[in-house]
Structure 1
């Protein structure tokens, strides 16, 4: 009997044998040629595959989508809103859901000068 990974094959005809029991004293009989093959000791098989080994339409479309880098994630959104403190034409903002789910979000604005304020939507 020969084994490749967790698959056990008949030594005479190469037929795939029934599932191993993991007991070396067990005899596995080949369904094709009738050869008696000794079972193998139990072993754990760990296999890894690369994503490109399994092509898919979704994966090919994913390449067109840009992946965010750590630098991109650090950037806040910018809005054309004049700062009341220094007069800069743009401010950064982010939103958080601080109130109940049926109410709007809270928008936090900040300017490079350090001025900050928030509004409830």
Structure 2
């Protein structure tokens, strides 16, 4: 990856036509640079492990309980937690886990 020395934008490749050679160009400013050497390198991206919102098998069992009907088994009690997933002016998302069958669902 090459970046524009003028504005810092990621440069794009212009494949060129006819006698024109390959070149880099900046999509935001007039910077253009001829590609002198072909450089090919592969680098594997290392993905970070993402921790779930509730970590551990028993995390929800530490939450408060409420009366809620399970969509799977119909049981009337569930553990629940609230999280603000969207912007502050939107309502919180409520996560439920059935006390009987451990089915998880959410309400936005």
TM-score by length of 1: 0.36
TM-score by length of 2: 0.40
Indicate the structure (1 or 2) with the bigger Cα radius of gyration.
1
Larger % of helix: which? 1
